[in-house]
Amino acid sequence: MIKVGIVGATGYTGVELLRLLASHPKVLIECVTSRGEAGKPVSDLFPNLRGHIDQQFCQPDVDQLANCDVVFFATPHCVAMEMVPELIKRDTKVIDLSADFRLRDAVEWEQWYNMPHTCPELLSEAVYGLPEVNRDAIKSAQLIAVPGCYPTATQLGFIPLLEQGIIDVDHLIADAKSGVSGAGRKAAIGTLLTESSENMKAYAVAGHRHLPEITQGLNDVSANPVGLTFVPHLTPMIRGIHATLYATLTKQTDLQALFEQRYANEPFVDVLPAGSHPETRTVTGTNVCRIAVHQPQKGNTVVVLSAIDNLVKGASGQAIQNMNILFDLPESMGINTIAVMP
């Protein structure tokens, strides 16, 4: 059994980790930490876990966490980097769901997160946990940085086009919509029911923290640096990311065949039949990214539609997918769920 610790388990990604790991046949949950809820039974805070998780929240303790085979950090940004170096020294594997280790450039990280990175030497060691690109590196990783939700949906949509070099890389557009849970489990006026219901709005158009992460990932598979315009939107739903991606073709090709072949052996990327339109509700609660590719009016514009659950493939499910790869388990173990509809 894999002994697992979860740091920061009271947020949405933390409880999603618990929900999925509770039924994983190869996992033993050793400790579930929360500074604010220490001593309280997990099921008191999350009644859906009653009968599945019988632990109490505990204070994060490096000695206790170091006894685990792997520790997940479901913490706000700038928290994991305070504890990760010591866990790495003790040979404990770390899977971080925050943005602390996603960017390889410490200066760029500091520009976007407005504070110094406390362990920049680990940025080059961290493996970016997008299995569809970095599966081999994940297998031997000590530290894995789980991609963000917008970056996952956006990269999976653009990657086949960039790998084949058939689009103008200077003018990529990602128009992405997120459910309110993407803002996290905290009190904020903008995510109150009366503020977000019956409403949709763009935000962070001048620059979103996920932009450098997306650009870094796309540059890794592109022959030339990409120019990306990324505009996120808040939508009145709880879960889901829907990204509509635009690019200009420089070479005509069978786009449907290209996407089907690229993801033919990927267990969690579902390329829909030609003419399809993926919906967020068809991936709710699942680790699946559903993709459709279009070429409107047979012109030179390609439109890719990409839908994921931001808390699963965009966070906790992808983290477990990384764990399965890391410990040489079947990749879909514990996360091969079916969406609930309606």
Q: Of 109, 125, 141, which residue constitutes the final position of a domain?
A: 125
Q: What token pair was written down for 122?
A: 């680990």
**31 catalytically annotated:** no
**pLDDT tens-digit series, residues 24-35:** 999 999 999 999
Residue 341 in domain: no
Do residues 154 and 299 both lie within one domain? Answer: yes
Least Cα distance to 129 among 108, 107, 99 occurs for 99
**pLDDT tens-digit series, residues 317-330:** 999 999 999 999 99
Tell me, what CATH number does 30's domain have?
Answer: 3.40.50.720
Residue 178 in domain: yes
Do residues 296 and 204 both lie within one domain? Answer: yes
Catalytic residue of the set 31, 58, 119, 149: 149
Task: Band the pLDDT of 183: cuts 50, 70, 90.
Answer: confident
Do residues 159 and 108 both lie within one domain? Answer: no
Taking 90 as the threshold, does the pLDDT of residue 184 lie above it?
Answer: no
Task: Give the pLDDT of residue 188.
Answer: 86
Residue 297 in domain: yes
Q: What token pair was written down for 47?
A: 């009644």
b or e along 280-301 (b: 16 or more beta carbons within 10 Å of the residue's beta carbon)? Answer: bbbbbbbbbbbbbbbbeeeeee
CB 155 within 8 A of CB 128: no
Do residues 207 and 101 both lie within one domain? Answer: no
Task: Give the pLDDT of residue 335.
Answer: 98
DSSP letters, 72-122, are: EE---TTTHHHHHHHHHHTT-EEEE-SSTTT-S-HHHHHHHHSS--S-GGG
Do residues 116 and 227 both lie within one domain? Answer: no
Taking 90 as the threshold, does the pLDDT of residue 103 lie above it?
Answer: yes
Least Cα distance to 74 among 134, 4, 179 occurs for 4
Count CB neighbours of 322 within 10 A.
28
Do residues 9 and 106 both lie within one domain? Answer: yes
**Domain extent for 174:** 149-310
Of the CA atoms within 13 Å of residue 159, those in its CB half-sphere come to 24
Provide the strand spans (E) within 146-268: 172-178, 201-202, 228-234, 241-248
Residue 257 in domain: yes
**Domains of the chain: total:** 2
Do residues 118 and 263 both lie within one domain? Answer: no
Do residues 108 and 209 both lie within one domain? Answer: no
Task: Quickly tell me which residue has 């961290």 as its tokens.
Answer: 126
**pLDDT tens-digit series, residues 292-308:** 999 999 999 999 999 99
CB 285 within 8 A of CB 332: no
Do residues 202 and 255 both lie within one domain? Answer: yes
Residue 195 in domain: yes
Do residues 108 and 159 both lie within one domain? Answer: no
**pLDDT tens-digit series, residues 56-94:** 999 999 999 999 999 999 999 999 999 999 999 999 999
Task: Give the pLDDT of residue 25.
Answer: 97
Task: Give the pLDDT of residue 90.
Answer: 97
- Distance CA(304)–CA(135), nearest Å, equals 23
Task: Band the pLDDT of 129: cuts 50, 70, 90.
Answer: very high
Residue 173 in domain: yes
Do residues 292 and 155 both lie within one domain? Answer: yes
Task: Give the pLDDT of residue 190.
Answer: 87
Residue 331 in domain: no
DSSP at 11: S
- Distance CA(295)–CA(277), nearest Å, equals 13
Do residues 217 and 254 both lie within one domain? Answer: yes
Task: Give the pLDDT of residue 107.
Answer: 97
Residue 232 in domain: yes
* Helix, strand, coil fractions of the chain, as percent rounded to 5: 35, 20, 45
Task: Band the pLDDT of 176: cuts 50, 70, 90.
Answer: very high
